[in-house]
């Protein structure tokens, strides 16, 4: 008889064991871990075991700190020694840019509760007397850095989970995964204790299973075999293993002397210049490196019989890194190498884990590419267990969410980006830096025109997007923590939008078509805002069950037809639109990088809504996609936006439609002809100016662009990019997804409360997702008419103007800087920059709502300097919004 459990975790490394433990902690005890060999047999067993809370993403840093703090607890719960060594470490900077990065990291730690301090290179040499202080310009002392025994940690997780009721099955290969008729999962098992797995392939012999187990949920924590586990359900994960080498030296006299003199273990180090990490091992030194001659391992398929094995050492490959190590750590020149460890570790294209549910595979979860498993494994387990058992990870995990990658992240793309990321493992990342490999991948038809016009590109969700325009083609932006060579050109773009007219491409937005007779009912359930009537467009916050944001969407209701047009938005003809059999058509616009994230959320809400809809048979029909049909438009629907006081005059020259303010008021959404092309036109603007967003079939983008550029010359038209858009939105205190708007905050905290409509329900009587949680949180009882008083622990999004220079010499907030009140960190910056039109440096961020009012004095720390920050009342420019409504 086939066993049935709540969840199966595939993979017995530190990550799989952590997931199992956290599921039991969350209350799921009917859970099973399947390990093909012995626990730790993939990458965990040969890991160097380092742990530290430092990460460039604040959420990941907090989860790393959680992981470190958890080790003592699981030791006590399991009785298993984790081999915990908290030694502290020094992060060494050999350039002033790297020192600036450390200053920013140290500042961020103040509001994250991470213990660190900036020190001189001489002080670093006193703490760690094997470095040459003359090789460095400064350092940061991390108090919580250390190392653990990877095997001990894994068994501690597993034993703690088993004591709570979980089961661990070793020598059990999850060889096949398939769906059951009731939507659960069926996993085929093979007993590997019978012999060698060499040559056995899940693809050539899929039916050779000894037994089966059924589960509502399956977690892919396959590590080196994550791709192979994913392929069992038709999924190609963007993950690849790289060869990674560390060496262990013979005893080092200076280390022995330090141990005897202080009675303490030598602390570890991170050396950015050499891409090197070190820690004490025995009486010697463990030296690891992320060498430039990176080598991928098993690009196509990981052998199933690879079991607690290492790879052939290649000291020639890491020789340049060792040369740097000899300069920075002179003691290494006089000591031999006792052992070389070369083993594979998995990476995602950007180096962060791949965690979360998979679109189209309900109940199938990813916990893969956790390269820093001993630093991140506990946090990954916590996030995933929360997600599985409660429907939400409990915090913003965007940096780890597998939804940040779409189908464009192919196997070859993954190999290119993983190699790049590996070589840059300890390289600092500048806020204006876009890495070059794997680009350009996706472009639109006007890419070459924009490049010839001087566009400097970045990339977002695989698509090339202009950042700014240089006077001549071929320019590059200097990467820096300060203001770059883009400064004067971005300033000119901003002035053009504020005084004349600017044009930017908007094809990178996420775009979805929603249609069917119950489209409006479903969208009313999905979003918290007011849905527009036909021919209108409106902002619609989207919440999860806890009331926190899952999107800041713009929804357009397609106009009633006045002719016939076939576009990527569907056929909009005569009497069909809006009638009972077809229903209304809507286009949802959102952040381009969140396209897969939105798809996954829409699917989940649609299925839940179908299951609970009160009309019986219609529920099953909805699940088939009949009354509500959802389609991702992608770059089949491309767009440009024109913005500025002269944008109406320009639009009037390229269309025969009436574009007057009376006929096309703010918030209207209509069809018109631009030259020979049919387009949708939304009258709204993210710049705060009079503006129009024009959407058309991808094949018509070139024609529309050329026409606007040609006619725009007489109006002072200038192309502008994302840097100028950022400056313009800061004038208006407009937030953006993944910065100001995140699942950490609810709409009222994020300043979107005015768009929430409590007094509405869909035509089937269902409330919008998160409504009950918001009412409970704010103690409303009755339907509010506007913003309500916040609970004591609520945060509030605000804008600050900062003291500082107003020329190229200054520094601006980039995000994650601490905000101080009376000398104490009380909040954090979400984004910032220079608002050229207002001529001031600006930061947006969150502080406790009780402090978010005039009269409170704030400071913000930017690259090591605390600067006075004036709280802005509303926004810097046009607070009444008259410009975009004229």
Please write the tens of the pLDDT for every residue from 134-166. 999 999 999 999 999 999 999 999 999 999 999
User: Would you place residue 614 in the very low, low, confident or very high pLDDT band (cuts 50, 70, 90)?
Assistant: low
Please, which residues have CB within 8 angstroms of residue 617's CB and are 6 or more apart in sequence? Answer: none
pLDDT at 793: 85
pLDDT at 403: 97
Mean of pLDDT values over 523-539: 96
pLDDT at 668: 98
- Nearest to 239, CA basis, from 388, 421, 375, 393: 421
pTM: 0.94
- Nearest to 226, CA basis, from 392, 358, 350: 358
pLDDT at 560: 79
The residue assigned the tokens 């007219």 is 501
Mean of pLDDT values over 729-749: 96
User: Would you place residue 202 in the very low, low, confident or very high pLDDT band (cuts 50, 70, 90)?
Assistant: very low
Tokens of 382: 């916590």
Distance (Å, whole) CA 723 – CA 486: 9
Asked if residue 487 lies in contact with residue 475, where contact means CB atoms within 8 angstroms, the answer is: no
pLDDT at 610: 79
Handedness of CA 562, 563, 564, 566 (dihedral sign): negative
pLDDT at 790: 66
Q: pLDDT tens across 315-358, in order?
A: 999 999 999 999 999 999 999 999 999 999 999 999 999 999 99
User: Would you place residue 764 in the very low, low, confident or very high pLDDT band (cuts 50, 70, 90)?
Assistant: low
Mean of pLDDT values over 662-668: 97
Tokens of 228: 């192979």
pLDDT at 786: 43
pLDDT at 788: 52
Q: pLDDT tens across 794-814, in order?
A: 999 999 999 999 999 999 999
Tokens of 689: 């100016």
Q: pLDDT tens across 427-466, in order?
A: 999 999 999 999 999 999 999 999 999 999 999 999 999 9
Distance (Å, whole) CA 851 – CA 562: 53
* Percent of the chain residues topping a pLDDT of 90: 87
Mean of pLDDT values over 168-183: 95
Instruction: Give all strands (DSSP E) within 184-292, no chain letters.
Output: 185-191, 211-220, 240-249, 268-271, 276-281, 284-289
* Pairing label, strands 637-643, 669-674: unpaired
Asked if residue 245 lies in contact with residue 340, where contact means CB atoms within 8 angstroms, the answer is: yes
- Nearest to 128, CA basis, from 271, 305, 291, 312: 271
């Amino acid at each position: 008889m086939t066993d049935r459990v709540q969840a199966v975790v595939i993979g017995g490394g530190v990550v799989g064991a952590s997931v199992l433990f956290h599921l039991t902690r969350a209350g799921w005890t009917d859970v099973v871990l399947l390990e093909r060999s012995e626990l730790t047999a993939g990458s965990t067993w040969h890991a160097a075991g380092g742990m530290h809370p430092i990460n460039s993403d604040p959420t990941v840093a907090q989860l790393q700190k959680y992981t470190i703090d958890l080790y003592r607890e699981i030791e006590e719960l399991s009785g298993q020694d984790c081999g915990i060594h908290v030694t502290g470490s020094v992060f060494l900077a050999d350039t002033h840019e790297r020192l600036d990065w450390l200053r920013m990291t140290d500042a961020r730690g103040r509001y994250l509760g991470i213990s660190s301090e900036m020190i001189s290179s001489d002080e670093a040499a006193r703490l760690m007397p094997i470095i040459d202080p003359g090789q460095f310009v400064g350092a940061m002392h991390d108090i919580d850095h250390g190392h653990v025994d990877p095997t001990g940690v894994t068994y501690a997780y597993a034993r703690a989970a088993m004591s709570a009721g979980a089961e661990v099955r070793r020598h059990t290969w999850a060889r096949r995964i398939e769906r059951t008729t009731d939507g659960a999962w069926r996993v085929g098992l093979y007993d590997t204790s019978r012999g060698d797995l060499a040559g056995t392939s899940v693809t050539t012999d899929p039916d050779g299973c000894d037994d089966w187990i059924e589960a509502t949920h399956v977690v892919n924590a396959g590590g080196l075999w994550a791709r192979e586990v994913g392929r069992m359900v038709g999924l190609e994960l963007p993950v690849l293993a790289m060869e990674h080498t560390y060496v262990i030296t013979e005893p080092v006299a200076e280390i022995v002397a330090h141990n005897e003199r202080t009675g303490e273990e030598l602390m570890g180090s991170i050396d950015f210049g050499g891409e090197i990490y070190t820690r004490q091992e025995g009486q010697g030194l463990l030296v690891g490196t992320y060498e430039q001659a990176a080598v991928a391992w098993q690009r196509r398929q990981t052998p199933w019989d690879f079991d607690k094995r290492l790879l052939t050492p290649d000291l020639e490959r890491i020789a340049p890194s060792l040369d740097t190590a000899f300069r920075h750590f002179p003691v290494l020149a006089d000591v031999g190498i006792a052992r070389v460890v070369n083993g594979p570790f998995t990476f995602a294209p950007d180096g962060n884990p791949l965690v979360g549910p998979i679109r189209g595979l309900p109940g199938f979860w990813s916990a893969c590419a956790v390269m820093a498993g001993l630093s991140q494994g506990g946090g990954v387990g916590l996030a995933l267990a929360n997600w599985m058992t409660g429907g939400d990870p409990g915090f913003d995990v965007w940096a780890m969410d597998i939804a940040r990658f779409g189908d464009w992240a192919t196997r070859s793309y993954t190999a290119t980006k993983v190699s790049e990321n590996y070589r840059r493992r300890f390289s600092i990342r500048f806020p204006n830096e876009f890495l070059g490999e794997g680009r350009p991948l996706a472009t639109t038809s006007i890419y070459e025109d924009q490049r010839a016009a001087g566009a400097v590109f970045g990339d977002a969700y695989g698509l090339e997007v202009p950042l700014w325009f240089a006077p001549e083609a071929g320019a590059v932006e200097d990467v820096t923590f300060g203001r770059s060579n883009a400064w004067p050109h971005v300033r000119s773009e901003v002035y053009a939008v504020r005084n004349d007219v600017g044009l930017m491409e908007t094809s990178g937005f996420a775009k979805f078509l929603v249609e069917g007779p119950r489209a409006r009912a479903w969208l009313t359930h999905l979003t918290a805002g007011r849905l527009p009537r036909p021919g209108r467009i409106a902002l619609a916050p989207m919440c999860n069950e806890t009331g926190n944001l899952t999107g800041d969407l713009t929804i357009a209701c397609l106009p009633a037809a006045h002719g016939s047009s076939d576009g990527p938005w569907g056929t909009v003809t005569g009497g069909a639109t809006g009638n009972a059999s077809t229903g209304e058509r809507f286009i949802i616009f959102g952040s381009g990088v969140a396209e897969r994230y939105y798809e996954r959320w829409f699917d989940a809400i649609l299925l839940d809504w179908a299951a609970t809809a009160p009309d019986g048979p219609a529920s099953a029909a909805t699940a088939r996609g009949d009354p509500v049909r959802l389609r991702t438009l992608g770059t089949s629907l491309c767009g440009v936006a024109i913005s500025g006081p002269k944008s109406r005059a320009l639009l009037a020259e390229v269309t025969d439609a009436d574009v007057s303010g009376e006929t096309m008021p703010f918030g209207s959404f209509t069809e018109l002809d631009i030259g020979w092309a049919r387009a949708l036109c939304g009258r709204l603007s993210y710049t705060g100016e009079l503006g129009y967003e024009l959407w058309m079939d991808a094949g018509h983008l070139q024609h529309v662009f050329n026409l606007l550029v040609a006619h725009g010359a007489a109006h002072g038209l200038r192309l502008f990019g994302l840097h100028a858009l950022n400056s313009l939105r800061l004038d208006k205190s407009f937030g953006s997804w993944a910065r100001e708007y995140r699942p950490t905050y609810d709409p009222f905290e994020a300043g979107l409360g005015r768009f929430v409509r409590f007094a509405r329900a869909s035509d089937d009587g269902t409330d919008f997702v998160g409504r009950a949680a918001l009412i409970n949180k704010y103690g409303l009882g009755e339907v509010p008419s506007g913003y309500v008083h916040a609970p004591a622990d609520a945060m509030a999004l605000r804008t600050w103007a900062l003291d500082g220079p107003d020329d190229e010499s200054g520094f601006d907030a980039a995000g994650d800087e601490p905000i101080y009140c009376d000398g104490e960190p009380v909040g954090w910056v979400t984004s910032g920059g220079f608002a050229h039109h207002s001529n001031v440096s600006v930061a947006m961020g969150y502080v406790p709502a009780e402090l978010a009012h005039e009269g409170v004095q704030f400071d913000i720390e930017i690259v090591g300097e605390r600067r006075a920050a004036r709280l802005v009342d509303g926004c810097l420019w046009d607070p009444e919004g008259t410009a975009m409504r004229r």
